[in-house]
């Protein structure tokens, strides 16, 4: 059974989820890869991350007359964010979406902040884009399209598997 979470997402929404649970997300999610994570840690968050969802993804974007459209979006390897992720989670992020495992510092941050790490299936960029209703905005476009933080409105974005829960359990153990 898939559990649909609606943003903003807080500790009480994720604290009972277990590694192996399958979820989807409706509301706002933000993409953020290496350079965006580094900038958040070095320069501060561009907006409140409390209750937010971060997706490790570099979407393919098409500029249109009325704004931007996501053409494809799939997960990127999350371990690249290990040096920054614990600090980003401490800012109130409750759900991380990515691909592959993350390290012990992230596991501890998930426990300390009652957050979860979920995995999206690699190679399904065309599937996930169907859940993107619209692109609401972009931050740090100076980093380039894949590294910018894209604000996306999504409906039933998933399936996502809880790979690391807020109790320290991990599918990678």
Given a cut of 80, is residue 124 above it in pLDDT? no
Residue 127 confidence (pLDDT) above 90: no
Query: Has residue 134 got a pLDDT over 90?
Result: yes
For helices 34-43 and 82-89, the axis angle rounded to 10 degrees is 50
| Tokens coding 121 | 């299936």
**Active site positions, annotated:** 37
132 CB burial (10 A radius; 0-12, 13-18, 19+): buried
Q: Within 13 A of 167's CA, how many CA atoms are on the CB side?
A: 10
Residue 122 scores a pLDDT above 80 = no
Percent of the chain with pLDDT over 70: 100
Residue 132's pLDDT band (cuts 50, 70, 90)? very high
Asked whether the predicted pLDDT for residue 125 surpasses 90, the reply is no
Task: Please report the pLDDT score of residue 66 as a whole number.
Answer: 87
Mean pLDDT of 128-144: 95
Task: Record the pTM.
Answer: 0.96
Q: Which of 5, 14, 2 is nearest to 169 (CA)?
A: 14
Q: In this predicted model, what pLDDT tens digit does every residue of 42-71 receive, in sequence order? A: 999 999 999 999 999 999 999 999 899 999
């Amino acid at each position: 059974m898939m559990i649909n979470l609606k943003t903003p997402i807080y500790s009480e929404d994720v604290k009972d989820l277990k590694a192996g649970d399958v979820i989807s997300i409706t509301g706002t999610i933000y993409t953020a890869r290496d350079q965006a994570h580094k900038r958040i840690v070095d320069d501060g968050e561009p907006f409140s991350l409390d209750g937010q969802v971060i997706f490790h993804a570099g979407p393919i974007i098409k500029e249109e007359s009325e704004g931007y459209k996501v053409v494809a979006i799939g997960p990127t390897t999350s371990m690249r964010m290990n040096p920054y992720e614990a600090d980003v989670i401490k800012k109130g992020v409750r759900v991380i979406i990515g691909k592959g495992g993350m390290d012990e510092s992230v596991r501890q941050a998930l426990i300390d902040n009652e957050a979860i790490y979920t995995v999206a299936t690699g190679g399904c960029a065309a599937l996930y884009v169907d859940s993107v209703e619209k692109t609401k905005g972009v931050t740090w476009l100076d980093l380039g399209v894949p590294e910018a933080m894209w604000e996306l409105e999504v409906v039933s974005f998933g399936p996502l598997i809880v790979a690391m829960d807020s109790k320290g359990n991990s599918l990678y153990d």
